[in-house]
Amino acid sequence: MPRSGHRDGRPVSRHIVVVGTGAAGLGVAQELRHLGYDEALTLVGAENHPPYDRPPLSKRFLTGAADAEQLWLAGPDTLDRLGATVHRGRRATGADLAARTVSLDDGRRLPYTDLVIATGVTPRTLPGIAEHAGAVTLKTLEDAHSLTGRLRPGRRLVVVGGGFLGTETAWTALSMGCEVTLVTPTPTVLPGLGEQVGSLTGERLAAAGATVLTGTAVEAVRQGDGPPGSGDLRVLLDNGTRLPADTVLTAIGSAPDVGWCGTTGLDLADGIRCDAVGRAAPGVHACGDVAAWYCPPHGRHLRLEHRMHAGDQARVVAADLLGGHRELDWVPFFWTDQGPHKIVVHGLITPEAEFETHEADTEHDRFTGVYRTNGRVCAVLGWNAPKQILRLRRELLTGPQTALGTPPPAGAPKPG
Amino acid sequence: MKITIDEGKCVGAGQCVLVAPDVFDQRDEDGVAVLLTEETPEDERPRVQEAARVCPAAAIATDGR
Ligand SMILES: Cc1cc2nc3c(=O)[nH]c(=O)nc-3n(C[C@H](O)[C@H](O)[C@H](O)COP(=O)(O)OP(=O)(O)OC[C@H]3O[C@@H](n4cnc5c(N)ncnc54)[C@H](O)[C@@H]3O)c2cc1C
Ligand code: SF4
């Protein structure tokens, strides 16, 4: 693989172009500068906002308790200091990997020496649902703003999907006084966490006032009897029930934003397929939700949609771009706020993993648990036990402690 | 050195504790990060800056750069 700072054996001045300015894309840019990269850097971001953080969109921000500035990962001042050319509100429409150019929706064509793809994911929807005014998804700041406006006390929200996004939003809507029904075809909510934790979460959600319909699929969403555009909707379930709703949130997962990479020849089977340091092709890296990295401990490619993972990968990519090495933390980590309950998971819960409670403190409504596959610990979970779970992680899961415990060398080697 | 933790932003991830265990701790009830000592010695700076970079909520700010 040719070193990206060279072409045909000649050194060229570098120009790193990052497409997508979420946690992953911004993270690469910030880490590059942190490591001493002082050549050209360009960021292309489809959203017309400073880079912002998404997890609060289903939690604090949705209730109106935080304003947009509190979401910013880099406000105008921080962006200025980055010394990058920022194309905000611009979408990459294609890339020519042989010529090393990326084209934008304003007709511009940017030459690059290195391209970083960090375009994230887009929520999936149900067929035919988009035509209804009250049928929404939650991914962007605009989505959150419009949903906040709809979640008035007494309003009826139907959440389609029992994953993290659906359950979190259901809790938040309850706290705002809405009537909430959650529908999921799975036997419990949060199926990724196993039967025990999923059932418990579903029970708590129901005890808090939500109607939780598991093992139930949504067949269609139709206009209700109110005048068109009034937002009066009917959700048709596979058991024949018709649920009235003012708002229907579809939270059934996401698809990687790779449409613009269609002609690049990159492997797009599940997002962008990369090696263990995020290389997708000569001169191309990918990271964040859009990227499936080869994961040596598991011997396969993994695409995770976790906030911490996006930042971790970004730092690995930046180091690799500068000829250095930073090991990815192969113990993934995520959290989800289920209303008043915080679930934290370290590790990778495989579908066949079995859960066992490790320590429980019913008085404080907290416990930790361990997931095992073939007797080996693959993940640990904390329910309202953020401190205890870190201890358990240290005891039972070994990560590349060097990457976590030692600061990286100041100033990585420059190419050339 | 001076460190500020934005409690509203902190998600109790504990990544700062993994990186700089002598500087950060977490509150028992919600996991929100707290400083172990009022004054953090200068020689912790590299670890604290690493913690600020890895924090998934961008909740840690330090003086200087
Ligand atoms: C509501 C919500 C709540 C979440 N809560 C949690 C949580 O509690 N815990 C957790 O661990 N994770 C959570 N996540 C997941 C976490 O936010 C993601 O893992 C993280 O944002 C991934 O960052 P990213 O940079 O890869 O992608 P993104 O943040 O999606 O950024 C990608 C950017 O690229 C832009 N883009 C797309 N296509 C193009 C193009 N062609 N040209 C230019 N730009 C383009 C997009 O507009 C977007 O701005 C949540 C996500 C959402 C939506
Ligand atoms: S890493 Fe950040 S979010 Fe996590 S506990 Fe520390 S300050 Fe809070």
DSSP A414: P
- Number of H helices and E strands in chain A, helices first, is 9, 29
Average pLDDT for residues A298-302, to the nearest whole number?
93
Which residues on A lie below 8 Å from B53 (Cβ)? 30-31, 34, 311, 315
- Ligand 1 atom closest to the Cα of residue A287 is 26
Residue having the nearest C-alpha atom to atom 16 of ligand 1? A307
Position A414 pLDDT exceeds 50: no
Q: Hey, which residues does A180 pair with through a beta bridge?
A: A157
Average pLDDT for residues A152-158, to the nearest whole number?
97
Average pLDDT for residues A263-274, to the nearest whole number?
96
Position A406 pLDDT exceeds 50: no
Ordered alpha helix ranges (H), A112-180: 141-150, 164-175
Average pLDDT for residues A23-50, to the nearest whole number?
97
Tell me the two tokens of residue A224: 């209700």
Which residues on A lie below 8 Å from B26 (Cβ)? 386-387, 390
Average pLDDT for residues A244-260, to the nearest whole number?
97
DSSP B58: -
B/e letters for A279-309, b = 16+ CB within 10 Å, e = fewer, are bbbebbbbbbbbbbbbbeeeeebbbbbbbbb
**Domains in chain A, ordered, with CATH?**
6-122+255-321 (3.50.50.60), 125-252 (3.50.50.60), 340-396 (no CATH)
Closest Cβ–Cβ partner in A70, A389, A408 for B9: A70
Tell me which fold the domain B3-62 belongs to: Alpha-Beta Plaits (3.30.70)
**Phi/psi zone of residue B33: left (φ > 0), alpha (ψ -120 to 50 degrees), beta?**
beta
Check CB contact under 8 Å for A337 and B11: yes
Position A40 pLDDT exceeds 70: yes
Position A180 pLDDT exceeds 60: yes
Would the pTM count as exceeding 0.90?
A: yes
CA distance A393 to A345: 9
Chain B CA closest to residue A391 = B18
| Residue the block writes with tokens 């959150």 | A144
Position A183 pLDDT exceeds 80: yes
* Cα dihedral across residues A89, A95, A99, A105: positive or negative: negative
Position B30 pLDDT exceeds 90: no
pLDDT attached to residue A10: 54
Q: Residue A395, Cβ neighbours under 10 Å: how many?
A: 11
CA distance A315 to A310: 9
Average pLDDT for residues B15-32, to the nearest whole number?
92
Check CB contact under 8 Å for A70 and B28: no
Listed by number, the residues of chain B in 22-61 with a beta carbon closer than 8 Å to a beta carbon of chain A are: 26, 28, 30-31, 46-47, 49-50, 53-54, 56-58
Contact between residue A283 and residue A97 where contact means Cβ atoms under 8 Å apart? yes
CA of A50 to the centre of ligand 2 (A): 22
pLDDT attached to residue A157: 98
Which residues on A lie below 8 Å from B20 (Cβ)? none
Ordered alpha helix ranges (H), A35-161: 60-63, 76-82, 141-150
| Confidence bin at A416 (pLDDT 50/70/90) | very low
Position A8 pLDDT exceeds 60: no
B/e letters for A339-357, b = 16+ CB within 10 Å, e = fewer, are bebbbbbbbbbeeebebee
Check CB contact under 8 Å for B31 and A387: yes
Position A11 pLDDT exceeds 70: no
Tell me the two tokens of residue A182: 């959650």
Sheet strands (E) in A224-266: 233-237, 242-245, 247-250, 254-256
* Mutate: best of B34, B42, B50, B60, partner A, most A CBs <10 A: B50
pLDDT attached to residue A184: 98
Check CB contact under 8 Å for B14 and A337: no
Which residues on B lie below 8 Å from A408 (Cβ)? 50
pLDDT attached to residue A110: 98
Chain B CA closest to residue A31 = B53
Chain B CA closest to residue A384 = B30
3-state secondary structure of A37: coil
A404 in contact with B, Cβ within 8 Å: yes
* Cα dihedral across residues A346, A352, A354, A355: positive or negative: positive
Average pLDDT for residues A276-303, to the nearest whole number?
96
| Confidence bin at A12 (pLDDT 50/70/90) | low
Q: Residue A131, Cβ neighbours under 10 Å: how many?
A: 8
Tell me the nearest-neighbour CA distance from B37 into chain A, angstroms: 18
Q: Identify which has the larger pLDDT, B65 or A33.
A: A33
Tell me the nearest-neighbour CA distance from A307 into chain B, angstroms: 6
Average pLDDT for residues A29-51, to the nearest whole number?
97
Closest Cβ–Cβ partner in B12, B47, B53 for A342: B12
- Give per-residue pLDDT as tens, A219-248: 999 988 777 666 689 999 999 999 999 999
User: Backbone phi, then psi, for A19, in 5-degree steps?
Assistant: -105, 120
Mean pLDDT over each residue of chain B, to the nearest integer? 91
CA distance B51 to B45: 10
Chain A CA closest to residue B6 = A70
Tell me the nearest-neighbour CA distance from B15 into chain A, angstroms: 9
Contact between residue A70 and residue A64 where contact means Cβ atoms under 8 Å apart? no
Mean pLDDT over each residue of chain A, to the nearest integer? 91
pLDDT attached to residue A298: 87
Out of A35-49, A154-168, B22-36, pick the least confident: B22-36
- Give per-residue pLDDT as tens, A362-387: 999 999 999 999 999 999 999 999 99
pLDDT attached to residue A401: 39
| Confidence bin at A3 (pLDDT 50/70/90) | very low
CA distance A397 to A118: 29
Position B13 pLDDT exceeds 50: yes
